[in-house]
Amino acid sequence: MPRPPRTDSRVAPLQQSPGFAAALRLAGQPPLVLDRLKNTLVLQRKFRGIPVAMVNRAHIAKPLRLLEMLQEEGLRRTPVILSPDNQVPELAGLGAVPLISPARVALWDLNIDQDARRAGLHQKWRNRLNHAERQGLRVTRQNMPEDVNHWLLTADALQQQANRYKSWPAALTLAYAQANPGDAKLFQAFDGKDPVAAMLILRHGRGATYHISHATPRGKQLSAHNLLLWEAASWLSAKGCAQLDLGIINTEDGAGLARFKLGTGARLHRLGGTWAYWPPVRRLLRPIAALDRRMMAA
C-alpha cells in the first residue's frame, strides 16, 4: 500500500544546519550562531586581511532584525555578505547593495512513494535509469571514509581544477563526516571489481544535499550516475528525508549537469541573490541599492 505523504515544515539548507556548524567547529572555523534568530549561522572570514561576515542560505523573514543582531554581536563596522535562501527585496531599502542576481537550486521532493517518484522522472532520465539497471552494476552504500586520498575526493579536486570552480575543501567534507556520524553517505557503483561512479550525499535533519560525485567514462556509458542518484533518493526517503537539494542549476556553463538534475522532476527554487551590507556607509549606498533593485527581481 502506498505510503501517505508526510506533512513537513520548511527544510533548512545544509549551510544553515547544526551539522554544518559542527563540521565548521571541528575544522577550526566556528561560526557565529544567532540563537535568537532560529540559530542562523554566520561565517566570519578574512579577505585580504579585511574581516567579513557571511550569511549563506538563511531564510530571512525579518532583514532589519538580522542586521540589528549582527551589530549587537560586535559586527558594527564589519562588511556583511548576505545570500538569502528566499527573496528579500527589503534589503535595498536598508542600504544593502546587490552584487549577484538570484540563482536557482533544484529541490527533489522525497515526500512521496517510490512509484510516484519514478513516474515523475523525465522520460529520457527514466530510460537511462532503466538502462543502468540492466547493466549488472553493484551499488554499495557506506559512511564516507576518513581518507583525504579517497578516489572520489581526488577526482573531485581534479574536476574543480579542470572546470575552474571551487567547492568545499576535502578537509571540511571529512570534518562533516566525522562530526556527524552516519550523515555523510557514500554511494558507489562497481562494474565487476572496478568503481565506475560515486556520489556523496550529506544528510541534515529532514533534508539531504547532493554534495560531490564523479563518474568514469565507463560509468557514463553505463548510466551509473542515474542509478546512484535513484538509489540514494530511495534510501533517503525510506529513512525519513523529505527533500534532496541537488544544488545550483547553471544552464550556461553546466547544461549537461542541469539537465541531469532537472530530469529527476525536481522543482526550481529561486534564491535571494547576493547582497553587500556595510553599516558605516549604508545611508550613502541606499539610493544606489534602490536603483539596482530590479537586478534582484529579474
One DSSP character per residue, 226-246 reads: HHHHHHHHHHHHHTT--EEEE
Residues 109 and 91 in one domain: no
Residues 85 and 146 in one domain: no
Residues 93 and 158 in one domain: no
Based on the structure, what is the number of domains in the chain?
2
Residues 70 and 205 in one domain: no
Q: How far apart are the first and last CA of the chain?
A: 44
pLDDT of 286 above 70: no
Residues 60 and 148 in one domain: no
Q: Three cell numbers at 156?
A: 573531485
Total-model pTM:
0.91
Residues 118 and 217 in one domain: yes
Instruction: State pLDDT tens for residues 172-186.
Output: 999 999 999 999 999
The predicted model gives 112-132 an average pLDDT of 97
Cβ distance 144 to 199 under 8 Å? no
pLDDT of residue 81: 96
pLDDT of 201 above 90: yes
Domain carrying residue 133: 105-269
pLDDT of residue 119: 97
Q: Is 210 exposed, middle or buried (0-12, 13-18, 19+ CB in 10 A)?
A: buried
The predicted model gives 28-54 an average pLDDT of 93
Q: Is residue 27 part of a domain?
A: yes
